[in-house]
Amino acid sequence: MSVMIRTVAPLKGNPPRDAVAVLLNGNAKKVSTRVRRLYESLVPSQDLYWSRSLDEANRNVDRIVDRGYEVVFTGGGDGTICHTINALHDTLDRRGPKTDCPRIGILKLGTGNAMAHMVGAHAPVEHLLAAMRGEQEEVLTLELIEESGRLVPFAGIGWDAAILNDYLDVKNRYQGRIGRKVFHSLLGYAAAIGMRTIPREMTRREPMILRARNLGQAFHLLPDGRQLPIPKGTLLFDGPCKFAGVSTVPNYGFGIKVYPFAGTESGKMHLRISAMGVTETLRALPAIWRGEYRSPNLLDFLVDAVEIESEEPVPYQVGGDAMGLRQKLCFSVAPRAVELLDFRARTQA
């Protein structure tokens, strides 16, 4: 991957009180009363910030920036992390260019954990305590995607967002102890696809018609491994399809490798468009989730800016959050990136 990974120096001596802040989403799946008490026992009260609404999270981010923390650990899923990133950058924009953005540590406490998987954030307490002790960690510089002023690591329309909506519906229907254990997992995604998404698509009268146009520099990634340069303004795709999405991270939650070419070239995001039918999709699903499947009906591009438009409003998601219906979207690689603590070396040791 071409994302920049570097080692940062440990905090000298005893880390200052304001070295590490912890911002937790009180509504996240795994933030139970027991988990809350655990973090209250580990983190000084002045460094622990709880949020149960977006407004409260924004106020907490303002306080975190005011106190000049070097690292902010945020707990929740991809949606929570995306909101923290955007809130930090919004606050820093208001403060001026002299204010540094803190590095971000991820506490894997949500449902969708694409970024947590990418940086090996599988042991939240262990990683947090190491940072609080001032131990050295590597940093991964992650490029982000901008859409309507929002910074996200991935977004998609069509089946991508429809499956997410169906999964959320399945989760909401099975809230008991057994239901949460079974359906609030990768099995829940499979159940949503089999019980909701596929049956709905089988009875769909008209296919989703989509157009994707290159707005910058782009390369078509051919199944044989070649990269074909594409001029600016070229129509990349025009026709019926099931899904179109962009990403700078290779995985979705649960390690599903939907975007295997994300992060392979600096300044580019992976654009993937699926024109596969239901039968091919079901047959290839395991290989798709491993990032291994190639097909003339599965189109891959590296782009820095793209416009995607459908003939009718279709389901849309950004950073794992369902965003309703959209008809036209413009994505570009953002000029700013975010520094994430990278725990993979520690996890593999």
Which of 21-30, 64-73, 112-121, 145-154 bottoms out in mean pLDDT, i.e. has the lowest? 21-30
If pLDDT is split at 50, 70 and 90, which confidence band does 74 have? very high
CATH class of 4-146+339-348: alpha beta
Q: Give the model's pLDDT for residue 144.
A: 96
Is the confidence at residue 181, as pLDDT, over 60?
A: no
Q: Give the model's pLDDT for residue 183.
A: 58
Is the confidence at residue 79, as pLDDT, over 90?
A: no
Decide which of 346 and 311 is more confident: 311
Decide which of 182 and 55 is more confident: 55
Work out the mean pLDDT of the chain and round it to a whole number: 84
pLDDT tens, residue by residue, 122-172: 899 999 999 999 886 799 999 999 998 999 999 999 877 777 777 766 666
Q: Give the model's pLDDT for residue 349.
A: 58
Question: How many CB atoms are closer than 10 A to CB 211?
Answer: 17
Every domain of the chain with CATH number 3.40.50.10330 lies at: 4-146+339-348
Q: Which two tokens stand for residue 64?
A: 């975190």
CB-count exposure of residue 279 (10 Å: 0-12, 13-18, 19+): exposed
3-state secondary structure of 254: helix
Is the confidence at residue 262, as pLDDT, over 80?
A: yes
Which of 16-30, 191-205, 283-297, 324-338 bottoms out in mean pLDDT, i.e. has the lowest? 191-205
Q: Give the model's pLDDT for residue 102.
A: 92
Is the confidence at residue 216, as pLDDT, over 50?
A: yes
Question: How many CB atoms are closer than 10 A to CB 150?
Answer: 17
Mutual angle of helices 78-95 and 54-67, in 10-degree steps: 50
Give whole-number Cα distances, 59 to 40, 66, 83, 100, 150, in Å: 20, 11, 12, 18, 18
pLDDT tens, residue by residue, 3-45: 444 444 444 444 444 589 999 887 766 677 888 899 999 999 9
Q: Give the model's pLDDT for residue 202.
A: 65
Share of the chain above pLDDT 90, in %: 50
Count Cα atoms within 13 angstroms, Cβ side, for 288. 18
Mean pLDDT of 321-328: 86
Specify the pairing of strand 243-247 against strand 103-108: unpaired
Second-level CATH architecture of 154-318: Sandwich (2.60)
Q: Spell 218-246 as b/e; 16+ CB within 10 A means b.
A: bbbbeeeeeeeebeeeeebbeeebbbbbb
Is the confidence at residue 240, as pLDDT, over 50?
A: yes
Every domain of the chain with CATH number 2.60.200.40 lies at: 154-318
Q: What is the pTM of this model?
A: 0.84
Q: Give the model's pLDDT for residue 140.
A: 94
If pLDDT is split at 50, 70 and 90, which confidence band does 331 have? very high
Quote the radius of gyration of the chain (alpha carbons, Å).
20
Is there a contact between 340 and 119 (Cβ–Cβ < 8 Å)?
Answer: yes
Give whole-number Cα distances, 161 to 168, 244, 295, 316, in Å: 11, 10, 22, 5
Q: What is the DSSP string of 273-340?
A: EE---HHHHHHHHHHHHTT---BTTEEEEEESEEEEEEEEEEEEEETTEEEEEEEEEEEEEEEEEEEE
Is the confidence at residue 109, as pLDDT, over 70?
A: yes
